[in-house]
């Protein structure tokens, strides 16, 4: 059974720092992996989608990498800003069905 | 930018009552999903829907739950005889042409069963 784990559960950094959020999954047979942002009490905003054949994806200050064989993905946030404060979720798509399996998230606080 | 829309944003219901949560997926999407998130827990898959039928459902999605696409735009989740433990945030999501494309989520409906 696929399990997704995110470390750390919470992270607090000063503004301007570069940071890395980690996501691991137990079964390397995935179709793709998606990173989301969730603000308190709100929905999920898609940040990046990485297909299983890709190693990384970039969008602005965000870079996500995927190492399928080791069951890991990282989300790199450059030059963090207070507006980046949110919970970041990773989700794996085990097959071409769209059913996503989520990690528990990393709650990020960026202090001014 | 196209978005998934959910209504209502918050619903309070008495235990044992039926509720219907509504979603309008992105217009050209073909794959539809419901997820839920109990406070402080992971987002959990409930059901996927394609070509007017359920394609997959989780153990959570028992006879208490049903989904429907009554017209070309709406996608609904019905919960019969609600229980206290049904209190959660319910998210609708849609995907485009394939189940392996990017998932777009709505803002959620917070269901509170009292």
Question: SS3 string of chain B?
Answer: CCCCEEECCEEEECCCCCEEEEEECCCCCCEEEEEEECCCCCEEEEEEEECCEEEEECCCCCCCEEEECCCCCCEEEEECCCCHHHCEEEEEEEECCCCCCCCEECCCEEEEEC
User: Closest residue of B to A38, CA-based?
Assistant: B107
Assess whether pLDDT exceeds 90 at residue A84: yes
Q: What pLDDT sits at residue B2?
A: 79
Q: What pLDDT sits at residue A65?
A: 97
When comparing pLDDT for A42 and B64, which is higher? Answer: B64
CA angle B51–A92–A78, rounded 5-degree value: 125
pLDDT bucket at A85, cuts 50 / 70 / 90: very high
B22 and B7 in contact (C-beta within 8 Å)?
A: yes
The reply to whether A100 touches chain B by the CB within 8 Å rule is yes
Give A61-85 as a DSSP string.
TEEEEEETTTTEEEEEE-S--GGG-
The reply to whether A101 touches chain B by the CB within 8 Å rule is yes
Assess whether pLDDT exceeds 70 at residue B99: no
Mean pLDDT of B39-64: 94
Which residues of chain B have a CB within 8 Å of the CB of A64?
none
pLDDT bucket at B62, cuts 50 / 70 / 90: very high
Assess whether pLDDT exceeds 70 at residue B98: no
User: To the nearest whole angstrom, how far is the Cα of B67 from the nearest Cα of chain A?
Assistant: 16
Which residues of chain A have a CB within 8 Å of the CB of B103?
34, 46, 91, 98, 100
**Hey, are the CB atoms on B56 and A45 less than 8 Å from each other?**
no
Mean pLDDT of A84-112: 94
Mean pLDDT of B60-83: 94
Q: What pLDDT sits at residue A41?
A: 84
- C-alpha distances out from residue A78 to A44, A105, B35, Å: 21, 19, 31
Q: Residue A28, SS3?
A: coil
In percent, the amount of chain A with pLDDT more than 90 equals 90
B103 and B2 in contact (C-beta within 8 Å)?
A: no
User: To the nearest whole angstrom, how far is the Cα of A25 from the nearest Cα of chain B?
Assistant: 14
Question: Most B CBs within 10 Å: which of A1, A43, A87, as the mutation test of the B interface?
Answer: A43
Q: Residue A100, SS3?
A: coil
pLDDT bucket at B84, cuts 50 / 70 / 90: very high
pLDDT bucket at A96, cuts 50 / 70 / 90: confident
Q: Are strands A101-102 and A86-93 parallel, antiparallel or unpaired?
A: antiparallel
Q: What pLDDT sits at residue B71?
A: 86
Mean pLDDT of B88-109: 90
Assess whether pLDDT exceeds 70 at residue A2: yes
Assess whether pLDDT exceeds 70 at residue A10: yes
Q: What pLDDT sits at residue A97?
A: 77
**Hey, are the CB atoms on B45 and A36 less than 8 Å from each other?**
no
Assess whether pLDDT exceeds 70 at residue A30: yes
Mean pLDDT of B18-44: 95
Which residues of chain A have a CB within 8 Å of the CB of B102?
34, 46, 49
């Amino acid at each position: 059974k696929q399990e997704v784990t995110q470390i750390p559960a919470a992270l607090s950094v000063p503004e301007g720092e570069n940071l890395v959020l980690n996501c691991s999954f137990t079964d390397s047979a995935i179709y793709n992996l998606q990173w989301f942002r969730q603000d308190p009490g709100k929905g999920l905003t898609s940040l990046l989608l990485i297909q299983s054949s890709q190693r990384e994806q970039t969008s602005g200050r965000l870079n996500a990498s995927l190492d399928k064989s080791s069951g890991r993905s990282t989300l790199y946030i450059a030059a963090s800003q207070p507006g980046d404060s949110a919970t970041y979720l990773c989700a794996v798509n085990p097959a071409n069905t769209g059913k996503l399996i989520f990690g528990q998230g990393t709650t990020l606080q960026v202090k001014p | 930018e196209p978005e998934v829309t959910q209504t209502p944003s918050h619903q309070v219901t008495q235990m044992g009552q039926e509720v219907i949560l509504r979603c309008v997926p992105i217009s050209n999407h073909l794959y539809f999903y419901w997820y839920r998130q109990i406070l402080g827990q992971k987002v959990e898959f409930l059901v996927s829907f394609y070509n007017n039928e359920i394609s997959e459902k989780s153990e959570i999605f028992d006879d208490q739950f049903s989904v429907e696409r009554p017209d070309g735009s709406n996608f609904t989740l019905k919960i019969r005889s609600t229980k206290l433990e049904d209190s959660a945030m319910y998210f609708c999501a849609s995907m485009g042409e394939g189940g392996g494309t990017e998932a777009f989520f709505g803002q959620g409906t917070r269901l509170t069963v009292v």
